[in-house]
Structure 1
């Protein structure tokens, strides 16, 4: 790791570039640890452009940790609607409640305490500590691992959890003690904009320090072997109205995928008729059936192929967890992205 010998020159080149070229993002205009915490949770597995309006709406709705701590779960799910990975916001609220109850509403400023909070892993802890408090701590995400694997020529599989320590140690060796906030953000920014999977090396401010570029190996890094097999599931969803034009919805279970969100009644497709299976399982009789285009949605390790049907109830009868809602009530409920796609098909 010969770059460590030229650490100061590397820091200067990286920080000078970041100061001149960094994107103007709303969470970069604050050192409020609560707001930075929110942004980091939202940015996990989500594109920056997607996050910006969610972040701005969220901090407007819950401007203080006390506001988020006191909020009903349905309210926070509604503000997260469409962002996906809903356990993130549940964990965020749980962590914030811990801060309010245990630390008097002040986010801990050391790794030991902040890491005990629900949903705060090593990356999020380091990001909050360095960005909000100026503590020289590592914040290693996928972008940072890609950058450092090339600069330092780390030819280890980044998909293996044990190898993350290599990158955390490297950051601690290289980080600017004077400006750890900008240093960590600069590494992330470099990975997001220049040192991308298909790198733009001619634009890179630290190309002179990059061992992979020097050896022509930048396209081969990072090494990532582990790949989880995608599961494909076929479903049928039914957008059903009663005689008053209200819509039939059900609430998902309180644990698991898309927990506690509302959706049109859905069943997993079998070999026999989707409609017959649905009527038998739900105890309903349908009429005026209309098949709509399929909805395709990809989660991290599962893909849903949803056959969508629009129908009316033959008899005014529901049971179990099914409830009717007006259009306005449906719009106010927290729903998943697949359900929002179905609503788009209904053209209401």
Structure 2
């Protein structure tokens, strides 16, 4: 080990560590369509879709979304209800992600003359684009990012380096950026994320996946494969998120619906005055209203729910 900044020291043969990992990646990584493009729009779509959504569900939706709205120009001009409806129909998670993606496309068109900003700081100005997504788009589209640190990367670093494991408050970003070869964020981030997804999962597959870091890995040498706790995604079945998605889908199909009619359509045990009745339904609609996705018209004798335009 050599001395580095702070408490972390790079391996003395850090070039060999890097080269081994990149060679492993190039020898046979998983082939996702967003890894075959440097189009920032397509990469942003893939990143937003992949947030807490299984990649097996993302790939088909990714192709269908880009076939329907192939450019930011197309997406910016789309009816937001159509975009949100697509999101819900494909079970892609929180519907406000679709709304933010739609608004980000409008920003690119109106504020950047159709050209994506290229740095993480500039990309963070787009609606709904946080630091992680901004850095991912900068890396994979423009080779212009810092090291990406997601759950998989944290797991790799925690197991590989004793300094991370033994720290009270591990500085994953510093370690990840120290390891990344300068100016090579595209290949490096794809590579280390692949390692975490294929070889260094919750149940490690070091030998089976021919992990290139076995020689340097603290966990492999000691047999201790503990890793940071990984937050679990709340169950989707029966969740408020599931019912909000059903509301958006139905209102997209029917334009507007009376509240009780909507309630009976989204839940078989809906009873207006019951536990899952009008009050429960109004709470769901209130959530959607806060996200500017739905509204309730109280002007007539019977309240009417519809999507916001």
The TM-score with structure 2 as length reference comes to 0.72
Question: Cα offset for 1:177?
Answer: 2.4
Give the match for residue 327 of structure 1.
none
1:89 corresponds to which residue? 98
Which residue in the other structure is 1:208 paired with? 215
Alpha-carbon spacing, 1:200–1:232, altered in 2? closer, same or farther (3 Å): closer
User: How far does residue 40 in structure 1 lie from its aligned partner after superposition?
Assistant: 0.7
> Where does residue 45 of structure 2 map in the other structure?
38
Deviations 1:290-312 (A, max 9, x none): xxxxxxxxxxxxxxxxxxxxxxx
Closer/same/farther in 2, CA of residues 134 and 275 from structure 1, 3 Å limit: closer
Larger Rg: 1 or 2?
1
Residue 120 of structure 1 is aligned with which of 116, 125, 129? Answer: 129
Distance change >3 Å, CA 222–CA 157, structure 1 → 2: farther
Aligned residue for 1:255?
none
Q: Whose strand proportion is higher, 1 or 2?
A: 1
Asked if the contact 1:151/1:209 (under 8 Å) is kept, the reply is yes
Q: Is 1:155 the equivalent of 2:138?
A: no
Evaluate the alpha carbon distance shift between residue 266 and residue 192 of structure 1 in structure 2; reply closer, same or farther with a 3 A threshold: same
TM-score, L = length of structure 1: 0.65
Q: How does 1:178-193 map to 2 (within 5 A)?
A: 179-193=184-198
List alignment gaps of at least 5 residues for structure 2.
Answer: 1-7, 247-252, 279-300
RMSD: 3.7
SS in 2 for 1:51: helix
SS of match in other structure, 1:209: coil
Correspondence list, 1:226-245, <5 A: none
Aligned to 2:273: 277
Q: What's the offset of the Cα at 1:155? A: 2.8
Aligned pair count reads 260
Contact 2:149/2:173, CA 8 A, preserved across alignment: yes
How many angstroms does 1:146 deviate by? Answer: 1.0
Q: Deviations over 1:94-141 (max 9, x none)?
A: 222222211111111112211122211121111111111112412111
1:170 aligns with 2:170: no
What is the CA–CA distance in structure 2 between the aligned matches of 1:30 and 1:157, rounded to whole Å?
38
1:12 Cα deviation after fit: 0.6
Aligned to 2:33: 26
Which residue of structure 2 lines up, in the alignment, with residue 319 of structure 1?
302
Structure 1: 5+ residue stretches without partners: 240-245, 253-261, 283-317, 324-332, 334-348
CA deviations on 1:168-199 (whole Å, 9 max, x unpaired) are 21121011225321110111111111100011
Counterpart of 1:17 in 2: which secondary structure? helix
CA separation of 1:85 and 1:231: change in aligned 2, threshold 3 A: closer
